[in-house]
Amino acid sequence: MIENEEDYELPVVPEEDDEDLIDKHEFIVDKGQEPYRIDKFMTDRIERISRTKLQAAANAGTLTVNDKIVKSNYKIRPGDKISLIITKPVGYVKMEPENIPLKILYEDEDVVVIDKQAGLVVHPGVGNFSGTLVNALMYHFKSLPNNGDETRPGLVHRLDKNTSGVMVIAKNEFAMSHLAKQFFERTIDRNYVALVWGDFDEEKGVVDVNIGRSHRQRQQQEVFPNGDEGKHAVTHYEVLERFGYSSLVRCKLETGRTHQIRVHMKYIGHTVFSDERYGGDKILTGTIYSKYKQFVDNCFSICRRQALHARSLGFTHPQTGKRLSFETPMPTDMEDVVEKWRKYAKLLEIQK
């Protein structure tokens, strides 16, 4: 455990976009540059990056010169355009391994795929010094790639604390670089299932609206429809079931912004059920009368977090090149609350 928290620098912002975990560095070599190994050239210009990590990035195909993949011993020339995609370090926090149970869906020498439980913070941030997924990873897996610090070993993406579901972890530098490139180029398939307030007029749709940190509530994100602020964000959604006053939807991410599904669903009038941060923990649809209110309160007591689950994840295996896909069912709290809504919807049909 950390004895003195003041001795360690923590990331200022506790939650970030998935794509903020990945950096793209670009350089143009000066005209007077003498022939020089590219790994030495890059370590001179990028903080906290080792030649070992650069070699892994080169082997994974994320180091290019003039849009062509090169090895770490490539000799740069004047005018070369260098590009590197790599996960980025954020800060240093002294971390300790903790025996936190993990549900492992798949594991080999390169990657491990887990079904993250709701309530588990992914990585340390302000107020979270222990009890995170990182602490668990340090206990269950040794020598994960860590970017020169211990804040995010093996991490190439994240889930919100109270969102459950599938995550992939890199077990070596090569896999981390390869997966980082896939996330950067948006070739990862990510599908979520969410219980949201209200019924839909349509069967499916797309929300394409910028998302950024709220000016009024710094712990929240908000949409910027004019595109003058925030970052480009795209969510595809499809209605799976209708329950009258709520709906079960599938959401496919095209981008990976902080709270993206939660913010986009609220923007189109379908706030995620029981989402305290965005107002989903209040009755938003339906007539408020005693029996209905009691029913909804019972639902809130069953699912005490946003009803959002990362159901499936698809990616290309770093070593074999095989396309892998993993899917997990909704956890018990979500399944139970969906079943209650399902029964309630049948009751509404009977009463009509």
- Give the active site residues: 160
Check if the beta carbon of residue 152 is closer than 8 Å to that of residue 87.
yes
Q: CA 286, CA 205: separation in Å to the nearest integer?
A: 23
269 conformational bin, left if phi > 0, alpha if psi -120 to 50, beta if neither? left
Contact 234, 254 (CB under 8 A): yes
Containing 262, the helix (H) or strand (E) segment is helix 260-267
Residues 49 and 86: beta-carbon distance below 8 Å: yes
Q: Which backbone phi and psi does 180 adopt, to 5 degrees?
A: -60, -40
CA distance linking residue 317 with residue 107, whole number of Å: 11
Tokens of 121: 């913070």
**Helices 173-184 and 51-59, axial angle in degrees (round to 10):** 60
Give me the phi and psi of 191, to 5 degrees please: -125, 130
Could you identify the residue written with the tokens 């222990």? 130
Cβ-based neighbours of 297, under 8 Å, separated by 6 or more: none
Residues 6+ apart with CB under 8 A from 321: none
Q: 3-class SS at 278?
A: helix
